[in-house]
Amino acid sequence: MADARRDIRLQAVVVAGGVLLMAVKFLAWKLTHSNTILSDALESIVNVVAGSFALYSLWLAAKPRDREHPYGHGKVEFISAGVEGGLVTLAGGLIIYRALQAWLGEHHLHDLGEGILLTLAAGLLNLLMGLALLVRGRKSHSLAMQASGTHLLSDAWTTAAMLTGLLVIWLTGLTWLDNLFAMLFGGFIIVQGIRVVRRSVAGIMDETDMDVAAEVVQMLEQHREPHWVDLHNFRVIKFGRTLHIDCHVTLPWYHDLKWSHDAINTMEELVNARSDRDVELFIHMDPCVPPASCAICTFDACDRRKAARQGRVTWDLRSVLGNAKHTVDDLQG
């Protein structure tokens, strides 16, 4: 809960900073009448709106689970990221539209020096806020914060590119480059927005994060107990910063329920002790089936063995995602 409060405070500071940056960028546009700077200022509106929604989603995700939300409220972070990605994409389209309109007409640039300095200051602040959000978001596994951080960083890099373009315009006097740069930046912003939406949809659709799944499976493989005969039907679902893992574990058939329950508890404690986030495991216990299970069983202390051990199935993503117990045929694969 303390980590969640820190995340909320940081996001609130970023939203307040975004309002200040928006004012600075519109002042720079007012001074210069540059469509390149206007495109950056328009995206600042999106930053403030998206950042505010992200702040609300962090507050909601931090609420404890209740009867109506037994898995907690973490999924709202995916919705927040999706909204932010959609707004970013829309901003990119508006920037391109505004630049095309200006290209068909005439507009004049002036006071570029002051505008460049103001935009530079805003870009540096965006860079610092984006890095802070991204680092914190990765540490706390908050997609909403990572989306906001990625958005602000892309805004900072866009500002850097804009400044380069404005310097070229200032030195060469080729004002038509202003509209060209604005359209290029608009296209870049659209690509960034689509990427954020893609990650959001993946979370809402419970798409497996293969990197996270591989990390957990590797952990289980490295600390594998001899009586954990088999692992299969492995699934990972993310609810905000909490992981929910479903899997089937094969245990010796002849032990009582308490022994099997303790064995599963050991596995749960192992994962939670070595993970940097909260992990909830739903493990279905399967009894081993001699002699088929004996061929891959590493529990040498077993006094009910019906066949000699022929090998050991290594637990990795390829072997544990399938919904079937392993057999000696898997040793040959």
**In the chain, where are the structural domains located?**
2-204, 210-332
Q: Per residue in 24-77, pLDDT tens?
A: 888 888 877 776 677 677 777 877 887 887 888 778 777 777 777 767 777 777
Residue 251 in this model has a pLDDT that exceeds 60: yes
DSSP 8-state class, residue 65: P
Q: Give the domain 2-204 fold.
A: Alpha-lytic protease prodomain-like (1.20.1510)
CA 29 – CA 23 distance, rounded (Å): 10
Asked if 41 contacts 28 with a C-beta cutoff of 8 angstroms, the reply is yes
pLDDT score, position 113: 66
Whether residue 120 is predicted with pLDDT greater than 60 in this model: the reply is yes
Reported for 224-227, long-range contacts at CB under 8 A and 24+ positions apart, including other chains, are 224/315, 225/263, 225/266, 225/267, 226/298, 226/299, 226/300, 226/301, 227/251, 227/252, 227/263, 227/299, 227/302
Strands 230-239 and 242-251: antiparallel
Kindly indicate the confidence band of residue 23, based on its pLDDT and cuts at 50, 70 and 90. Answer: confident
- Check residue 49 and give left, alpha or beta (phi > 0: left; psi -120 to 50: alpha): alpha
Cβ burial of 252 (10 Å; 0-12, 13-18, 19+) is buried
Classified by CATH at the fold level, domain 210-332 comes out as: Alpha-Beta Plaits (3.30.70)
pLDDT at 333 over 50: no
Q: How far apart are the first and last CA of the chain?
A: 46
- Mean of the pLDDT values across residues 262-291? 87
- Cα separation, 267 vs 277, in Å, equals 16
Mean pLDDT of 114-139: 80
Residue 2 pLDDT exceeds 60: no
Cα 217 to Cα 219: distance, rounded to the nearest angstrom: 5
